[in-house]
Amino acid sequence: MADARQVIEPFGDAAWRLARPDGVAAAALLASLRACPGVVDVVVAERHVLVTFEPASSPDLEPALAAARGATASPAPPRRHVVRVRYDGEDLAAVAAATGLSVAGVIDAHVGRDHEVKLIGFLPGFAYLGDLDPRLVLPRRASPRPRVPAGAVALAGPYTGIYPFASPGGWHLVGTALGFRPFAPETGAALAVGDLVRFEPC
């Protein structure tokens, strides 16, 4: 029953980095910390969460962390998104070869499940979608492409994702998202940590 110590490391003089507390939902953590007085920005990543604040201020995170634990105990239902994908990625055949699946098998493995948004980063609106079928887990490409087109659906490591902008990238391209913009200048990122994404072939 002993209380676990929450590890908080200084990240310069205007941010702290915390180890992700066990058993606390990412969405609840983000919402509670963003509402915490004195906190400017919050980034929830795989193993860490970062909070930024004005230098020399010292926000009290304890009530927010407690609120996040409470919210995790009775969570709101996650937002769900269905993204239609044309499976025409340049690396589709290579992914099939590397995984030992057929092309149809790769597609089946990609569409058949909910993917939770584990973190947002790398590019504005770029969501790292977890819960990838373990058979599709591959290392990144040996050499990144100088330009991956906007809307490309790709996978690498335990993640799949949709490129919001044309950008260099080292993930394996399996398809193209249709009718879905991961980022819009008017509204920002379409996905948030904790959301569920299901791909649908077309």
Query: What is the full DSSP assignment across 117-146?
Result: EEEE-SSTT-EEE----GGG-BPPPSS-EE
Total residues interacting with another protein, rule: CB under 8 A: 66
Please say whether the dihedral angle defined by the alpha carbons of residues 113, 183, 28 and 8, taken in this order, is positive or negative: positive
Q: For residue 197, what is the enclosing H or E element?
A: strand 196-201
196 binding another protein? (CB under 8 A)? no
Indicate the residue among 107 and 118 with the shorter CB distance to another protein.
118
Q: What does the alpha-carbon distance between residue 111 and residue 43 come to, in Å, rounded to a whole number?
A: 28
- Length of the chain equals 202
| Rg, C-alpha atoms of the chain | 19
49 binding another protein? (CB under 8 A)? yes
Indicate the residue among 22 and 100 with the shorter CB distance to another protein.
22
Indicate the residue among 18 and 136 with the shorter CB distance to another protein.
18
Indicate the residue among 105 and 131 with the shorter CB distance to another protein.
131
Specify whether the CB–CB gap between 202 and 127 falls below 8 A. Answer: no
Indicate the residue among 106 and 191 with the shorter CB distance to another protein.
191
156 binding another protein? (CB under 8 A)? no
37 binding another protein? (CB under 8 A)? no
Task: By CB under 8 A, name the binding residues for another protein.
Answer: 1, 3-17, 21, 23, 30, 34, 40-50, 52-53, 55-58, 60-62, 65-66, 69-70, 72-74, 119-126, 128, 164-165, 167, 183, 185-186, 188-189, 192-193
